Amino acid sequence: MNYFKTTVLMALLIGVMVAVGGAFGGQHGAAIMLVISLGMSFFSYWFSDTMVLKAYHAIVIEPDNPDPNAQQLYRMVNNLAANADLPMPKVAIIQDSTPNAFATGRNPDHGVVAVTTGIMQALNYDELSGVIAHELSHIKNRDTLISTIVAAVAGAISMIAQMAQWAAIFGAGRSDDDDNGGIIGLLATIIIAPLAAMIIQMAISRTREYAADKSGGEICGNPLFLASALEKIDYFAKHARPMQDATPATSHMFIVNPLSGTRKAMMSLFSTHPATEDRIARLREQAAESGKM
């Protein structure tokens, strides 16, 4: 069901882009904006693992790392990757006391799982395995690719809206016979379309989190491991200091939004993550259905 929702939402997002691009740029407007936006996103997608690891000063570890905690983490990732039928991803550690984790990489052969030192201290073995399984699910489901495509389309819509805004300011394309319909269409292009694109983009992000929760619960062997981990991580995100290098541009990557404690709760439509309570409830329901309760 999560995959079906993602497909429907992506189709809807592309539909918004085509409609807006056609309204403002003529028959080829949407295609031109999509090509430009895809070009801008390609570099980010191809080098996403390198860029984000540098941004968070993450250190990639090897199996012979002298730290026993790092060795245990590496073995855990290796075992869970085998359970998920995935190639062994890179494993990285971020020196930050706030518990959190993320996955990146353009495909399963270039996957990276990164965890903070805080999450290694805050969670027990089973809980950490649930988090790692969730992140491996993102790699297996190619969520980096999906998020890049969605961001490209949403970016194209925003570019069209900005062009329409400047055209309105300088009077491009206007004539004395412009009627209310033209004004309404222009306002829809400038205001409503980007807003709709953002709502759809956030909905797709939430859908991918639900999907990763579900398959993560299967990979680690017990959805309750992940449910317990989410409860702890969410508490720290809301009550402890935010991650040192966390930014809105990368907050969607983490298992729990690392900035959730720095601002008032946002409307659910504009959230990159589902409510943690809802995620936990689904995981408990999954555990009950699989006889793990």
List active site positions: 135
What phi and psi values does residue 107 have, to the nearest 5 degrees?
-160, 170
HSE of 104, CA atoms in CB hemisphere, 13 A = 25
Pair 272, 258: CB distance under 8 Å: no
Distances, alpha carbon 67 to alpha carbons 31, 63, 166, 195, in Å: 52, 10, 56, 47
At 145, the amino acid letter reads L
DSSP string, 232-260: HHHHHHHHSPPPTT--TTTGGGBSS-TTT
- Tokens linked to 245: 């290098």
Residues in the chain: 293
Find the distance separating the first CA and the last CA of the chain, reported in whole Å. 23
Query: Scanning the structure block, which residue is given the tokens 């903070």?
Result: 116
